[in-house]
Amino acid sequence: MADLSVRIGSLTLRNPVMPASGCFAVEYAEALDLNRLGALVVKSVSPDARAGNPTPRVAETASGMLNSIGIPSKGLDAYRRDVLPAYTRFNTPVVVSVSADTAESFGEACETLSLPEVAAIEANISCPNLEADGMAFAMQAESTYKAVSAIRRRTSHPLWVKLTPNAGQIALIARAAEDAGADAIVMGNTVLGMAIDVRTRKPKLGNVMGGLSGPAIKPLAVRLVHQCHRAVRIPIIGCGGIETADDAVEFMLAGATAVQVGTASFRDPAVMGRIVDGLSAYCDANDIERIATLTGAVALDAQLSDRWLRFAQQSG
């Protein structure tokens, strides 16, 4: 049987499969053995209480879904008291996802959540930055560096930084996160989209626009993972439209060390277990002793690879 373990910074995970933040709840334990996963990523929490965005918050689309949840939160105290204990009872590393409005509040929140029972912190810097008129921190290299630096000054915990696919020059942004002290990059999040009900002529989301996820964005996500892999030395956790073991393998070949599963879990809460089983079967069928050897192993023609590298460097 193949070794499915992967290493992300100082953490060794039993396998590369974990949920994406916001697409998972402890109730999934009724359909899935959570002790089989590589990690448990909990829904993002913000330092201050938030009501979230107006309803409707979710709309189905072809090959995916739109959501505009707005990261509702009851704050850090309620999170530590009421949410976190339900996840830490499992024999699986817990990753807390943090969202904040300013670089300083990011640092303070991550310091508060640097708890012994927390294996790593995922900083969701693809959320709006009030210091830049609401533009996400991860849209620019400078604001990425500022946010990650503010967090790193306040915590020595393993730090994963979640980027956005809506940004240009993703390689520059990934390098800024690495230079500021990130231990890993989560690439990425949802793609900004919109849908309209042609009968009512109203947007299908209460917040008008929202994030597109699911199979529709997978080719984009794979490309971004590959670009980041060429730009940084730290591990990358791929996310975007993963539904099967083959999808997970594709992300790993592109450069991911691990993967997060989001939208697919809404339709099938047990899907991550099947992906773990599928990865084991894939390795056995292809005589792969260690799944970690798949990371970045995409076969590229040497001349084409050099041309692609020059293009990626020029475009950021």
Residues with a catalytic annotation lie at 127
Is residue 91 marked as binding? no
Whether residue 265 is annotated as binding a ligand: the answer is no
Are the beta carbons of 96 and 85 closer than 8 angstroms? no
95: left (phi over 0), alpha (psi -120 to 50) or beta: beta
Q: Which residues pair with 11 in a beta bridge?
A: 8
Paired strand residues for 258? 237
Residue 10 among known ligand-binding residues: no
Asked if residue 97 belongs to a known ligand binding site, the reply is no
Was 156 annotated as part of a binding site? no
What is the rounded end-to-end Cα distance, in angstroms, of the chain?
Answer: 40
146 is in an annotated binding site: no
> Has 53 been labeled as part of a binding site?
no
How far apart CA 163 and CA 166 sit, in angstroms, is: 9
Question: What whole-number distance in Å separates Cα of residue 109 and Cα of residue 99?
Answer: 9
Tabulate helix, strand, coil % of the chain (nearest 5).
40, 20, 40
Q: In 10 A of CB 57, how many CB atoms?
A: 17
162 is in an annotated binding site: yes
Find out whether 68 is annotated in a ligand binding site.
yes
Sheet holding 58-61, edge to edge: 58-61, 64-67, 209-213, 191-194
Tokens 């012994």, located at residue: 116
Residue 124 annotated as binding site: yes
Structure tokens at 204: 């299908």
Residue 207 labeled ligand binder: no
Q: Is 99 annotated as a binding residue?
A: no
21 is in an annotated binding site: yes
Residue 125 is assigned to a ligand binding site: no
Decide: residue 240, CB within 10 A, 0-12 exposed, 13-18 middle, 19+ buried: buried
From the annotation, which residues make up the binding site for substrate?
Answer: 43, 67-71, 124, 189-190
Binding site: residue ranges? 21, 43-44, 67-71, 124, 162, 189-190, 214, 240-241, 262-263
Pick out the residues of the known binding site for FMN: 21, 43-44, 124, 162, 214, 240-241, 262-263
